[in-house]
Structure 1
Amino acid sequence: MIPDSQLAELVGRLADVRVLAVGDVMLDRFVYGAVERISPEAPVPVLRIEREQAMLGGVGNVVRNLRAQAASVCLVALLGRDEAAREIKGLLRADDDIESHLHEEDDRPTTIKTRYIAGGQQMLRADRERAHAVATVLEEEIIARAEADLGQAQALVLSDYGKGVLTERVVRRMIAAARPSAIPVIVDPKGNDYGRYGGATLVTPNRRELTEATGLPTGSDSEVVAAAAALIERTGIEAVLVTRSQDGMTLLRSEALASPLHLPATAREVYDVSGAGDTVVATVAAALAAGIDLESACRLANAAAGIVVGKIGTATASSAELAAVFRARELETGEAKTVTLEDALTHVSAWRGKGLTVGFTNGCFDLLHPGHISLLRQSKAQCDRLIVGINSDASVRRLKGEGRPIQNDASRALVLGSLASVDLVVIFGEDTPIDVIEALRPDLLVKGADYANKEVVGADVVRAHGGRVMLAVLEDGHSTTATIARATTGR
């Protein structure tokens, strides 16, 4: 099993893939409000509506999660001819990295799921839908369109919500089309007959769905494993990933029936499980498309699910959030200080609301030495709060060559976070911190005095909004490169 720091690095590979997603698309509506009284007409709460939100649901939520991880997507789905369909098309048009092929059927209303939420809890869900198998002519059109797009994809997702798009014929044709090119097929299943998913790389039932499909109990670890093994033996599916809510996930592979992988749940607080299964499917699909092994893909998916259930609504898990989860697991003393750029922006906003000044400095900080400590102390002396940006492992390798860094980014962040002079640590994957500086807009930018003003990355950005650049006095005789050289030569 690879360490969490390596999983954090794997997250970046999800951005380089293309996934074909076929299935039931729908519109998820969320109506938020407050409940302050009971209706005089009936013993029901009165929801005073404050705001409404609409987003892609069903296979559309798989697409949203893939895009949150920066993967590109081709979507093949079916809509009615109605206002909800037009709304879905508008949402899809907003992202150029989604190629959508949406077929339409006159007598099929576009599925809408409306959730009413107050106090962070769902009060009611109302569904508008009509589930029936797609007409034969449209069935052929969907198959032809999906088969044409399969050649450009590194993974295929079949998102089956039982609304009629993924008929047995569509499913079997798509799996058969993917197998000759060894394209992984990930199925979010529905119904009791999993035989039609035979040949799929992975199916992702929840515990209830696994019981319905096998007729076997799934209360304990051993029962889940037995039911998943029975499903594999009956259907010819290569692997089963069982999502088990508060009990995490269980992976069972056909070639290793005696070696199940149990992954504990990672969420600290659960607010809403809506769409968590879509997050799992999307993350596994992107990972397999990137050539990541199935066990690591499932570990990534488990962490992503833990992120989204801590949010309200059918949420997504971004690449930055996912990488941060694995980096945080390796951090102890400094883990609370190591944050994503998004979280850093939240801190900066709060600090500025209190009238505090924000400073920023950056580097590889591979082997922390007295020169680094001096730089950080000088930086903190000139501001109220100091944020340190550090290059990710991949970035350090590009800048310093193979053999560097000596310590991985999680370890480097841990050491920096343990220093009183450092308030936050942000890990960035680019060669320079310009994107971080542009986002944070620090009041103070600090580099060592060996940088001339014109060479300091981001200096123009900081000065443009009234900030200043400081060149810190360097401690003589201290350099990471020189330290490593001395250690390797004995001089």
Structure 2
Amino acid sequence: MTGRRRTEGRAPLVVVGDALLDRDLTGSADRLAPDAPVPVVSECAERLRPGGAALTAYLAARDGREVTLITGVDDGPAGAALRELLAPWVRLIALPLTGELPEKTRVLARDRPVVRLDRGVGRAADATDEARAALRSARAVLVSDYGRGAADALRDVLAERPPLVWDPHPRGGPPVPGTRLVTPAEKEAHAFAAQAGRPSGGLRAAALDAAALVRDWRAAAVAVTLGARGALLSYGEHPLLVPAPAAHHGDSCGAGDRFAATAAGLLADGALVGEAVEGAVGAATTFVAAGGAGALPPAESGPPAAPPPDTDDPRALTARVRAEHGTVVAAGGCFDLLHAGHVGLLQAARRLGDCLVVCVNSDASVRRRKGDGRPVNSLADRVRVLRALACVDAVAVFDEDTPERLLGDLRPDVWVKGGDYAGADLPEAVLLQEWGGQAVLLPYLDGHSSTALLARAAEGAR
């Protein structure tokens, strides 16, 4: 396992499936060919990366997870190139391949695909004792079935202990019964469901397809991925729609592999299916926004020196933003009953810098400030609601009456208070001057406060 690293606490993962070698030829297209109405893509730069099940395994490994990939691969030029790309990241167990490793070449002009060229029809010919042993000893298995024989060669072993996740593709077969989560794309789900005469497209069709597949495949759950709309999770009835946190229309190449790798990793670490799908939707959305598979760091660069920082940790977040010469903004309050005034203030605060940390009073601190009966919502509930806001990057809790000690730890560049504090003393302002920070007041939406909301609620209850 030289050169590969595993983040503490993350379960190892075995990926079974069909690997490809992906190649992007990226250039510019400023004219049409003189002999045909097709663009001329010039000054092409070539880049190779793992594809298919190899991309799924590579993404899981980049998450800091120990990954074994069982796939068909030969010793030809494409196979040798794929082995070299995967070597720093993934333990490879090769299945014999009939024919050459499949290659997928995309020609892009200014990052937009112009044409795709496919070559190689190699299929995994048979299982090996090493592959069977690795599967039987695996704690968590993900199948990425592109229909080129790997899953079929090991189907009997996979059926002994069904995988956590099965990511199906049009040429592949059905998952083994008992698979915990199957992740078809919307068009794939409709084709697999084979409901003659029923139109495809829309949430109603996706829900019917997912329910049919749960039944037909005898899967515990099916998550139909819906692109920019998120995913629809079904256990057979009453589906759960998990919306994407934001709409991005970048290069979606590899988004399904990112979804499957994240879902399998979270399930391996003990998450519930719903939690895994929610995390996978978020990861796929971020992946597309960053440029998809074509924007991944070069595989040959090797693993990073350390895992990515935990953005839920306010101190790690502020340290990272400061190291990148960004602006750290902080805002504080009880946020007992989150209302439009709070949201407007926090949205405006986030626009002042590169991250927003919300400093929130503990339950004891709120009680001392507001009296008995407050807070109405517990600290855990208040923190969860704040973290759900897109404008909030992290939440920090303080137990004192005022947040000076916490601010001394975070050292924000900007400290924000609502305009209803105008004319009042801001003890934090003097503190921020110690490190060159600035306290500011932002306009506050008049007529909105937790106290006023509680008073109106009490009046209405009489």
TM-score band w.r.t. shorter chain? 0.5 to 0.7
Alignment partner, residue 56 of structure 2: 62
Alignment partner, residue 435 of structure 1: none
Q: Report the alpha carbon displacement of residue 313 of structure 1 after superposing the two structures with TM.
A: 4.2
Alignment partner, residue 265 of structure 1: 244
Alignment partner, residue 145 of structure 2: 160
Q: Which of the residues 144, 167, 176 maps onto 1:188?
A: 167
Alignment partner, residue 43 of structure 1: 37
The AA in structure 2 aligned to 1:263 is V
Q: Which has the higher helix share?
A: 1
* TM-score, with structure 1 as normaliser: 0.61
Alignment partner, residue 8 of structure 1: none
Q: Which of the residues 221, 233, 250 maps onto 1:251?
A: 233
The AA in structure 1 aligned to 2:281 is N
Q: How does 1:124-273 map to 2 (within 5 A)?
A: 124-132=115-123, 134-135=124-125, 139-141=126-128, 144-150=129-135, 153-167=138-152, 169-176=153-160, 178-179=161-162, 184-191=163-170, 195=174, 197-216=176-195, 217=198, 218-253=200-235, 257-273=236-252
The AA in structure 1 aligned to 2:146 is Y
Q: Report the alpha carbon displacement of residue 320 of structure 1 after superposing the two structures with TM.
A: 8.6
Q: Report the alpha carbon displacement of residue 158 of structure 1 after superposing the two structures with TM.
A: 0.9
Q: For 1:114 and 1:166, how far apart are their aligned partners in 2?
A: 24
Q: Report the alpha carbon displacement of residue 89 of structure 1 after superposing the two structures with TM.
A: 1.1
Q: Report the alpha carbon displacement of residue 344 of structure 1 after superposing the two structures with TM.
A: 3.7
The AA in structure 1 aligned to 2:113 is Q
Q: For 1:100 and 1:46, how far apart are their aligned partners in 2?
A: 39
**Secondary structure of 1:225's aligned partner:** helix
Structure 1 contact 20–74 (Cα < 8 Å) conserved = yes
Alignment partner, residue 257 of structure 2: 278
**Secondary structure of 1:100's aligned partner:** strand
Rate the CA distance shift 1:145–1:258 in 2: closer, same or farther, 3 A: same
Q: How does 1:15-94 map to 2 (within 5 A)?
A: 16-94=10-88
The AA in structure 1 aligned to 2:101 is T
Alignment partner, residue 415 of structure 2: none
Q: Report the alpha carbon displacement of residue 131 of structure 1 after superposing the two structures with TM.
A: 4.7
* TM-score, with structure 2 as normaliser: 0.64
The AA in structure 1 aligned to 2:154 is V
Q: For 2:31 and 2:410, how far apart are their aligned partners in 1?
A: 62
- Calculate the aligned-residue CA RMSD, in Å: 4.4
CA offsets 1:17-57 (integer angstroms, 9 cap, x no match) = 11100111111111111001111122111101342211111
Rate the CA distance shift 1:33–1:63 in 2: closer, same or farther, 3 A: same
The AA in structure 2 aligned to 1:103 is L
The AA in structure 1 aligned to 2:218 is G
Q: For 1:222 and 1:148, how far apart are their aligned partners in 2?
A: 42
Alignment partner, residue 99 of structure 2: 108
Q: Report the alpha carbon displacement of residue 340 of structure 1 after superposing the two structures with TM.
A: 6.2
Alignment partner, residue 309 of structure 1: 288
**Secondary structure of 2:289's aligned partner:** coil
Structure 2 contact 158–176 (Cα < 8 Å) conserved = no
The AA in structure 2 aligned to 1:116 is V
The answer for unaligned runs of 5 or more in structure 1 is 1-11, 329-336, 352-357, 369-384, 392-402, 419-424, 429-445, 450-469, 474-491
Q: For 2:182 and 2:394, how far apart are their aligned partners in 1?
A: 36
Q: Report the alpha carbon displacement of residue 289 of structure 1 after superposing the two structures with TM.
A: 0.2
Q: How many residues matched?
A: 353
The answer for unaligned runs of 5 or more in structure 2 is 1-5, 298-303, 336-352, 360-377, 397-407, 412-432, 437-462
Rate the CA distance shift 1:342–1:281 in 2: closer, same or farther, 3 A: farther
Q: For 1:238 and 1:448, how far apart are their aligned partners in 2?
A: 45
Q: Are 1:118 and 2:100 matched, yes or no?
A: no
Rate the CA distance shift 1:120–1:323 in 2: closer, same or farther, 3 A: farther
Q: For 1:386 and 1:130, how far apart are their aligned partners in 2?
A: 48
Greater relative CO, 1 or 2 (CA 8 Å, sep 6+): 1
**Secondary structure of 1:309's aligned partner:** helix
**Secondary structure of 1:198's aligned partner:** coil
Rate the CA distance shift 1:323–1:205 in 2: closer, same or farther, 3 A: farther
The AA in structure 1 aligned to 2:147 is G
Rate the CA distance shift 1:409–1:265 in 2: closer, same or farther, 3 A: closer
Q: For 1:346 and 1:123, how far apart are their aligned partners in 2?
A: 39
Q: For 2:229 and 2:388, how far apart are their aligned partners in 1?
A: 31
Q: For 2:291 and 2:135, how far apart are their aligned partners in 1?
A: 34
Rate the CA distance shift 1:340–1:191 in 2: closer, same or farther, 3 A: same
